[in-house]
Structures are given as structure tokens and as C-alpha cells.
Amino acid sequence: MKYNFDEEVNRLGTNSVKWDNCKQIFGRDDIIPMWVADTDFKAPGEVIEGIKKRADHGIFGYTYRADSFNQSIKSWLKKRHGWEIDKEWITFSPGIVPALSLCVNTFTNPGDKVIIQTPIYPPFRSVVEGNGRTIIDNELSYEGNSYHMDLDNLKRQITDHNGEFDYRVKMILLCSPHNPTGRVWRIEELIELGKICTEHNIIIVSDEIHSDIVYKNHKHIPIASLSEEVANSTITCISPSKSFSLAGLATSAIIIPNKKMRSLFNNALETSHIGGGNIFGNIALEEAYNNGEEWLDELLIYLEGNLDYTINYFNEKIPQIKPIRSEGTYLVWLDCSKLGLKGSELMNFFTNKARVGVNPGNNFSRKNTDFVRLNIGCTKKTLNEALKRIEKAVKEMILQ
């Protein structure tokens, strides 16, 4: 391997949400943080050099995004995901969550219904409810050891009591690949979902922030790449932030083929004055997409090694916890139902007995009180230490 992902980088003292906030989040600072979706790897050298070079210039006045910014996104989507886009479809958001919120506000009205598929990354719920819209929860089905879209149930949920389409259903927030289950949606699921949405003029907002972290034998398909019809109803949100350790640079790209929708989105960006972006984020995105491919390919090998290690570790040494094998993302959804602990008891176990910081399952779905989400985007050493701590805590609990 050309790149050394085993390098231990001390992130303490950098105002890292993941590392420096443990006391505030978990009530103690002696935990290994395996929670927020943020990795412990240094960004590719080209990104760091690009930022340093620009920093050396010393003047950081207003700048605009050059054509090269859009070109890097266009080339990346073509080479990594086989999706041919027009540069003019590309617009901007400082983050994906702000874009989701902007979409809800721009394309729906208070009281309208927005579909989400739980368990789901918590802001999907809060951007809908916080903006006074109503959730339709098209819960994923959990069969065996895997999650699937329940599209028959979705069809029922968007039908009113007269058997007619409920015209208040205006949008779906799709998470593709899916956080927290790590599912990479199959083409059949996406085609069927696209069909339902286009038939009923339901806007698809597809959060594809995790699309560059997909493991062997799986392929991410941008839903907008399925057909012109689906593309015309879809807003796709991407960012190099998760894959290239750039989340703090607050730079993402929003792709809207439909001219009218794009103009409405851009008006909303302008009205809230959040479309400017920042110099370093723009440079980082371009460097990552233009020069980061080899680095990313090696990162994927490293992460898949972490994933295999994690799955084997639980299966062999901690069978009381069942990991769902992620097909994409560096997040692992853990079914802890056999531990016999739920909600705050389960969190107390991970925080105070194992001393590993995880995300509680009930943040993703009110039902998943006996699940937690583990972030394996760290060095093998950190991962091994965390797994050992969990194993020890489980064994001690069983012996009690």
C-alpha cells in the first residue's frame, strides 16, 4: 500500500467534535470515540498541499467557484459512478444537511408530507418536523441480517382512505447508501422507487454523501442516473467530506438537472446568503476529486479490512452482539438485542462499562432502542482496542 492509514494522528486539541467533545456528549473523556461519521485519517497529500499553497498567499477575500470546480465534480461522477451530468446542473451548499432543509423549505409547504425510511440519520427527521412538515415513515424491513425498502408499504402509505393518491405527499428524502444500516440500494429498488415518485410528482432528494465508500461486489447507483424522467424529479447531494476527511470544510455539491427546480433552489440559497462557500473547501473538493482516486481506492481496502475484522470479532468473540454487514459507509449497525439492555441502559453499558462512544439506536428510529451505531473509520489499533473493551465489558456483564 502506498498510503499509511495506520498512522495515529492525535486529534485532541483540534476542537474535534468526535474527540474533544466526549466529556460533553458521554459525560467522560476516557472513552474511544466511535460515534459521529468522521474518520481519523489525514486527507490525501494533494488536498493538504493545495490548501497550504493557497494559505501561503495570505489574502482570503471573496472568491467564486471557478469552472474547474464544476469540472472536477462532473469528471468524478463519470469515472466513479458512470453518471454523465451537465456542469450547469451543479449548484452548491455548505453542507448536505443544510441542503436537505433548504429543499424541504423550498419545494414543500407547511403541512405537506415528506417520506423518510427509518432507521435513518437523525437530521432526516428533524429537517422535516423542524420545518413544520409531516413525516411519512416508510420503515425499512429487517429480514435475516439485512435491510430492504418496503415499497409495497410505501404505496399504501401514500394512498388516502378513498384509495386515491394523497396529494399532500410531496417529497422523499432518500439516503443512498443508507446511514445507519450501510445498505447500498439495488437497482431494482431504485427503479421501483423512481417509478412511484415520478408517477406522483414526488420530488426525490437523494443524499449520496456516502456514495464513495462502497465495498467489493456492490455498486452505488445515483438514482438520478436511471432515466431522464427520474433525473428531472431528483436533487442529488454529494460531497467529498465523508470519504476524504473534509467535513469541517463545509463544502458540498447539489446536482439539479431540472432547470426550474434548480432556479428555485438557487433563489433560496441567495435569499439566505449561504451560497458563497469557502476558499479552502473549494480547493479541497477539487484536489480530492481530481487527484484523490488512488488514495480513496486504498482507503476502501483499509476500511473493508476494518469491516471484516469487526464482523469476525463480533461473530467469534462477542456473539451477544450481531453486526449488520455494511455494503457501504464506515458505519456498522449493531443489533444488541441479545444483551437484554435497551435505550439508556444500553448506552450506559457502552459508555461506562466498555468506555466506547457509540450512537444510540433510538436516535435513528424510535423502535431501535437495542441497536447502536459504531464508526469504524479509524486505525486498526483504535478499532482493536475498542472491540477488546466491548468484549471485556460483555464478559463481565455475563459473569455477574
Ligand X SMILES: Cc1ncc(COP(=O)(O)O)c(C=O)c1O
Residues that bind ligand X (CB under 6 A): 37, 95-97, 121, 175, 179, 207, 209, 239, 241, 247, 252
Nearer to ligand X, 179 or 362 (CB): 179
Helix (H) or strand (E) holding 169: strand 169-175
Q: Cβ(222)–Cβ(206) under 8 Å? A: yes
- Residue 153 grid coordinates: 408499504
Q: Which residue is nearest to ligand X (CB)?
A: 95
Nearer to ligand X, 119 or 323 (CB): 119
Segments in 17-141 forming alpha helices (H): 17-20, 22-26, 45-57, 67-81, 96-107, 123-129
Least distance in angstroms from the C-beta of 116 to ligand X = 11
Least distance in angstroms from the C-beta of 340 to ligand X = 29
Nearer to ligand X, 205 or 261 (CB): 205
Q: What is the residue type of 386?
A: A
Nearer to ligand X, 207 or 286 (CB): 207
Least distance in angstroms from the C-beta of 93 to ligand X = 8
- Residue 65 grid coordinates: 467557484
Nearer to ligand X, 341 or 374 (CB): 374
Which residues pair with residue 146 across a beta bridge? Answer: 143
Q: Cβ(245)–Cβ(42) under 8 Å? A: yes
Least distance in angstroms from the C-beta of 143 to ligand X = 23
Least distance in angstroms from the C-beta of 197 to ligand X = 19
Least distance in angstroms from the C-beta of 359 to ligand X = 10
Nearer to ligand X, 283 or 285 (CB): 285
Q: Which residues of 253-284 are buried (b: 16+ CB within 10 A; e: fewer)?
A: bbbbbbeebbebbbebbeeeebbebebbbbbb
Q: Which residues of 52-80 are buried (b: 16+ CB within 10 A; e: fewer)?
A: eebeeeeeeeeeebeeebbebbbebbeeb
